[in-house]
A and B are shown apart, each in its own frame.
Chain A
């Protein structure tokens, strides 16, 4: 049973994707909240430099040396960027855009000079190849388990331990760095720890999804979850669930259409994000449009009640308190007048009396409330 699981290629691909997605979503939730999304972009590009440098020194494409190298490259990227921005010669956004392309370019150049056709291909640096993770396995407890799965599982354990151990500190530093510093929680140290773990996760995910697609797994599921909830723990859980959903649907579609599995998984995170953007309760675009429509109807109702109240029992009542007056005098469109009247009737504010629109007691009370204020 277990052996069958580890021998099954689809199961291994899905497991790898799930591990990448979960690790990335755990850290990404905090990175998105802290406004560090583009530093993630910078780190995941520039670790290419670290990977090839460590490879040139040790000839290892994974293992502890790569992990340490990744953490150092990540910190180097962030430190260089912050130094450049602090010199005030260029602004923060330009500093990010200067540092990571330079490191990435140096990495790609080193690969094409020294490591061509060896172990690292320029294209797989960018895109990864999750479909091939099962080729490189190691025997563990009697089972042949892909190396990537073991590395990613260890990284996930580290990330999970970090997030659980520093939950309170991360929460505070993400929402109120000033208070975190005042209370002695060292938000700076936490910042670098978070970014180092991001680099390590990026290196571990590298073989599977490459430099650019990793960014999708870090940023998009947490951003999707952010649209759905305002509770941190729920946001983290939702982000993980969305990442898993993206992996499964992405894998199935990639198999059906015979396209890049990693690319399809990352594309699916975008599909889930779009769905959340459109249909999220409260903050989705449809919910916003609906709320705006409700607010306008509500306002039209109040305007209608006030209009009727002003003219009732006057000479002009016969002319003003009609549907056509709303259209000609208030310049409402036909549908707007109809919607407002229907709503006001539904709420028991007005009724039709002798061919005119007239206030019912509830409507009169509301109009008085409007004018007394």
Chain B
């Protein structure tokens, strides 16, 4: 493994993959926030004919021309999307499906056309279907770095505007921001992210590199800055991880490994993220259930004491069960006892367990009753 890491080729590939992942992650955050995840899918598929056109024009695997071609057809697909959704009554998802499949089909036709021309270098084209990080050259790094810098500069320069458009486009429009132009700029940036990421994961899986880092980052933070930064970081991690795996095992396409790495990070985030995560939600629900159970036990015991005019009325556990509909969990009763609110007592000649409210328990029950009343009035 140390051998692998010290190789110059592997270093190039890892650096490139991390860079690509970071750019896609950064821009994907905006796509996810603006609910345009699937537009990313359509634009990614639509990049295939552009890749082939770039190849046909350059006559070889020249990354600059290929990226320009992919960006061009991606932009064309975005325009087609806009035309279909604005000028017909077809639903947005149908428009996405049409653009995605037709552009891809044209790409397949061009791909076979290039292949049947019998050019030797055309073998490099298939790597754009599923990605092949090993195909990244040192010269490619400069192009990717340049594109990444441009994207970063645009995002920083228009940070406030992008933030507003992502969260409240109506408000932005009312305040006189050029919303349409800003949305177009964001869509173009997404197309740029796709073009950059194609090398790494290919057209079919590109959508995952766009969405997954952003969806994972969203779980951990509530601020846009934090989300964009974290998303870029997760993207870089997934990219480098995928590239490393495919470098370690020859012939393994990078794309699937990158996507599965990113998906794993998403699953961990969904499960563990503080406040939002599923585990956190489950714990919160458990705490709420426990609190309600305690409240009802104390209120029931107090009610029984008042009904019998005896502050130390020993309530039989069967009575508790009848009053509450089900016996409270033993650990809840033990917890109340440990906090000194209730006390187990016996009531001869009966042999079953009984519970009575302590002085502190009465005070707590009063406090909770007041709190409940206040909450109800507050509503």
Contact = CB atoms under 8 A, between A and B. Distances in A.
Interface in A34-73: 35-38, 40-41, 45
Interface stretch (B82-90, B288-296, B325-333): B82-90
A267 B106 CA distance: 5
A122 interface: yes
B37 A97 contact: yes
A219 interface: yes
Q: Could you say which of B98, B105, B214 has the most chain A C-beta atoms within 10 Å of its C-beta?
A: B105
List 8 tightest A-B contacts by C-beta distance, closest first.
A270-B102, A263-B108, A266-B105, A101-B208, A216-B101, A105-B256, A37-B97, A219-B97
Contact of A90 (B88, B101, B126, B218): B218
Given A89-B219, A257-B113, A258-B116, A106 B256 contact: yes
Interface residues of A, number: 60
Contacts of A40: 97
A145 interface: no
16 contacts: A35-B94, A89-B218, A94-B215, A97-B37, A101-B207, A108-B256, A112-B256, A126-B204, A216-B105, A258-B113, A263-B112, A264-B105, A267-B105, A267-B108, A273-B102, A277-B83
A263 B100 CA distance: 13
Interface stretch (B58-66, B166-174, B259-267): B259-267
B256 A97 contact: no
Interface stretch (A9-17, A134-142, A151-159, A220-228): A220-228
A234 interface: no
A204 interface: no
A146 B35 CA distance: 44
Contact of B263 (A105, A108, A254): A105
Nearest to A265: B105
A263 B106 CA distance: 7
B46 to A, nearest CB: 11
A112 B130 CA distance: 11
B204 A127 contact: no
Interface of B: 32, 35-38, 40-41, 45, 83-84, 87-91, 93-94, 96-98, 100-113, 116, 126, 129-130, 204-205, 207-208, 210-212, 214-215, 218-219, 251-253, 255-257, 259-260, 263, 266, 270, 276-278
A123 B126 CA distance: 8
A40 B215 CA distance: 22
Contact of A122 (B103, B130, B257): B130
Interface string A103-132: 011101100110010000011001100000
Given A45-B204, A263-B112, A98 B263 contact: yes
Contacts of A262: 108
Contacts of B87: 277, 285, 288
A220 B257 CA distance: 32
B45 A35 contact: no
A291 to B, nearest CB: 12
Contacts of B251: 112, 116
Contacts of B38: 38, 41, 93, 96-97
Contacts of B253: 108-109, 112, 122
Interface centre among A36, A102, A122 (most CB of B within 10 A): A102
